[in-house]
Amino acid sequence: MKKNLYIEFIAMCAFVFGCVGCNLAPGSYPYAEIYNLNTNENNLISAIKKFKTANPEYKVPSIVGLIDGRSSDVADHWYHVYFYNKADNEIIYTWIRQLNKEEVSFAFVSINKGLELGNWNRVNKDYQKKENKQKIKKFEEQILDEIKRFLE
């Protein structure tokens, strides 16, 4: 009897942790693909602006209403940046956060299908493994690597 009760308790705990595990994940963006870069926030923001000037097709159309920057919330620790992949008709959401004087985090968070907002899919969460890897690789090759060139 005790053995069955113990097994049921363990099974219930495993079930509860499995169901609510994502709520226990660290931070506000637990699934984001995070890249730590040896620069500061201002330099990275400047490199992104230069990238978008050199590649205007990556600017989100103004009709969407997404603007790079911090929100008006004083507790906002992130500088939000959006890119538009015209070929795939996707809006890419990223953020920047200063870690220390010499290092900044640049996170690839999610992708919205189309220009109508509300179709967001989080990387490392909402895509199948193969498609997720493809999305990350495309982001790294088409956006991240190009931005890094503007940092040099």
Question: Is it the case that residue 148 has pLDDT exceeding 70?
Answer: yes
Residues with Cβ within 8 Å of 139's Cβ and at least 6 positions away in sequence, in order, are 33, 92, 108, 123
Confirm whether 61 is domain-assigned: yes
Locate 20 and state its tokens: 């609510």
Domain with residue 134: its CATH number is 3.30.530
Gap between the Cα atoms of 46 and 77, Å rounded: 18
pLDDT above 70: residue 7: no
**CA atoms of 114 and 89, how far apart (whole Å):** 5
Q: What is the pLDDT of residue 25?
A: 46
Residues sharing a CB contact under 8 Å with residue 98, sequence separation 6 or more, in sequence order = 40, 41, 104, 105
Provide the pLDDT for residue 2: 55
In this predicted structure, the answer to whether residue 24 has a pLDDT above a threshold of 70 is no
What are the two backbone dihedrals, phi and then psi, of residue 129, each rounded to the nearest 5 degrees? -55, -50
3 occurs within a structural domain: no
Tell me whether residue 7 is in a domain.
no
Number of domains in the chain: 1
d(CA 40, CA 53): 20
Q: Tell whether 2 is covered by a domain.
A: no
Instruction: Grade residue 21 by pLDDT with cuts at 50, 70 and 90.
Output: very low
- Alpha carbons 106 and 108: distance in angstroms, whole number: 7
**Is there a domain that residue 9 lies in?**
no
Structural domain of 75: 28-151
1 located within any domain: no
Residue 19 is assigned to a structural domain of this protein: no
Where does residue 107 rank: exposed (0-12), middle (13-18), buried (19+ CB within 10 A)?
Answer: buried
94 and 85 in contact (C-beta within 8 Å)? no
- The pTM of the full predicted model, rounded to 2 decimals, is 0.82
Would the pLDDT of 106 be above 50? yes
Asked whether the beta carbons of 94 and 67 are under 8 A apart, the reply is no
